[in-house]
């Protein structure tokens, strides 16, 4: 019964926010305005202490939702008029103390052809890669409240779209070639990857045609994203306390044109910390406003965390939910609390060692190195948040609360950048065979 209630609630939330696909797929098209701007649309943020080297923290931000791999000839890319920021907060005030800003540039070797690649591509510098991107990374610190900029990477190659086995017979090699070193230490990577989010949206949308847990298909399976990955020394982002707040944002110039270019001040068009917050907790009338605010001002949204309507549909209290408020706005006492200031961020206690046996249910599964203490790629964030709303932190039995999908459609790599290999355009796995 609890499982049925959970899925009924999901369906109801989807209807209230304008359709199942835009409503409950992490931050894939989660607000009206950003749904019209896919290059600036962030899908997920991840942050965890590296298992192989616990002195490092991995940070991953994904953008451009629902990339169909077979999207020839104009394949997906990062926005050239978009600034992609990864922000970290050392003291819990919701203001960035260290920001990593990524900017991308597009290049075309031969404008006289429509082809993305002119032949087999065996390296990121191949002359056969006709359309390609490069990027730079600027580290921004804020001594005295004023930004100071230092370039930590420049003119690095973006791993291209996975066109197919004839064009890129060893795409995994291209992925590994994309790992580069940051000035001063650490690693960085940018390119196309498998979308690591997983959820049975199809069953939910089909009048709750629900499939058993473990057998439900991943509706995000087969889609790719544009991914940014960093592995940085803890000392770069952690201050006097071990817990750091993490969120991403995208910015555009306040004057932009569709054909490219822009001018004026940078304006934030989206921000993202924990998954599903804007979709499930923030009402439709406030979704765009939420995307334009910084975590430092989040106390104005407290009522939506304290009184989550979805919780009532899960058979749990829907008012006075200080447990939900703490998870998202201050961090959990004894786990990753950052103080009394209310700011929605992904909080990572870097003093908690990586788990030898990670549990996809994270903290609710007895694994304090997992979500909501940071977030690893394999963490089942949707089920964790549903269980929390259903009263897991209040002592309720939430063992039956699940959306049905328990893992990603492809395995994650065992080394940096850890993402899943992007799906090949030749596979066309979303296309049914023609009789």
Q: How many CB atoms lie within 10 A of CB 170?
A: 14
pTM above 0.85, yes or no: yes
Quote the tokens at residue 97.
């103390």
CA distance 245 to 295: 10
* Ranges of each domain in the chain: 2-394
Instruction: Kindly state the percentage of the chain with pLDDT values over 90.
Output: 74
Q: What is the structure's pLDDT at 67?
A: 94
pLDDT at 14 > cutoff 90: no
The enclosing H or E element of 3 equals helix 2-16
Contact 192, 419 (CB under 8 A): no
Residue 11 neighbours by CB under 8 Å, 6+ apart: 20, 204, 205, 208
User: In terms of pLDDT, which residue wins out, 237 or 3?
Assistant: 237
pLDDT digits (tens, 9 = 90+) for 26-81: 667 676 688 888 999 999 999 999 999 999 999 999 999 999 999 899 999 999 99
Amino acid 207: pLDDT:
55
Residue that is written with structure tokens 């990857």 in the block: 193
Span between the terminal Cα atoms of the chain, in Å: 41
What is the pLDDT confidence band of residue 204, given thresholds at 50, 70 and 90?
Answer: low
Per-residue pLDDT tens over the stretch 225-277: 999 999 999 999 999 999 999 999 999 988 776 666 778 888 999 999 999 89
């Amino acid at each position: 019964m609890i499982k049925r209630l959970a899925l009924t609630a999901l369906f109801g939330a989807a209807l209230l926010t304008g359709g199942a696909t835009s409503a409950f797929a992490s931050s894939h098209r989660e607000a009206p305005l950003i749904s019209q701007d896919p290059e600036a649309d962030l899908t997920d943020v991840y942050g965890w202490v590296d298992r192989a080297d616990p002195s490092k923290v991995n940070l991953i931000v994904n953008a451009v939702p629902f990339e169909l791999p077979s999207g020839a000839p104009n394949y997906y890319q990062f926005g050239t008029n978009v600034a992609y920021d990864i922000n970290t907060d050392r003291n819990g005030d919701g203001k960035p103390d260290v920001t990593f800003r990524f900017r991308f540039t597009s290049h075309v070797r031969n404008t006289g052809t429509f082809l993305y690649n002119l032949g087999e591509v065996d390296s990121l510098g191949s002359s056969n890669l006709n359309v390609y991107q490069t990027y730079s990374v600027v580290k921004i610190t804020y001594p005295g409240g004023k930004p100071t900029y230092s370039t930590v990477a420049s003119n690095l190659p973006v791993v291209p779209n996975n066109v197919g086995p004839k064009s890129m017979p060893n795409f995994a090699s291209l992925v590994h070639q994309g790992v580069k070193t940051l000035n001063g230490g650490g690693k960085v990577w940018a390119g196309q990857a498998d979308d690591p989010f997983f959820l049975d949206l199809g069953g939910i949308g089909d009048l709750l045609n629900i499939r058993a847990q473990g057998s439900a298909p991943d509706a995000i399976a087969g889609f790719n994203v544009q991914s940014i990955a960093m592995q940085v020394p803890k000392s770069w982002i952690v201050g006097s306390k071990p817990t750091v707040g993490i969120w991403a944002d995208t910015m555009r110039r306040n004057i932009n044109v569709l054909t490219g270019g822009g001018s004026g001040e940078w304006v934030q068009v989206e921000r993202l910390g924990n998954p599903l917050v804007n979709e499930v907790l923030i009402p439709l009338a406030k979704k765009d406003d939420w995307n334009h605010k910084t975590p430092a001002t989040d106390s104005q949204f407290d009522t939506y965390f304290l009184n989550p309507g979805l919780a009532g549909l899960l058979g749990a209290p829907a008012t006075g939910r200080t447990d939900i408020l703490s998870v998202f706005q201050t961090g959990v006492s004894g786990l990753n609390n950052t103080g009394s200031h209310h700011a929605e961020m992904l909080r990572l206690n870097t003093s908690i060692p990586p788990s030898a046996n990670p549990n996809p249910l994270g903290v609710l599964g007895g694994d304090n190195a997992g979500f909501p203490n940071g977030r690893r790629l394999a963490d089942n964030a949707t089920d964790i948040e549903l269980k929390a709303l259903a009263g897991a932190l209040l002592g309720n039995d939430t063992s039956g609360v699940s959306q049905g999908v328990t893992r990603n459609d492809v395995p994650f790599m065992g080394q940096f950048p850890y993402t899943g290999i992007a799906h090949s355009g030749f596979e066309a796995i979303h296309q049914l065979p023609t009789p």
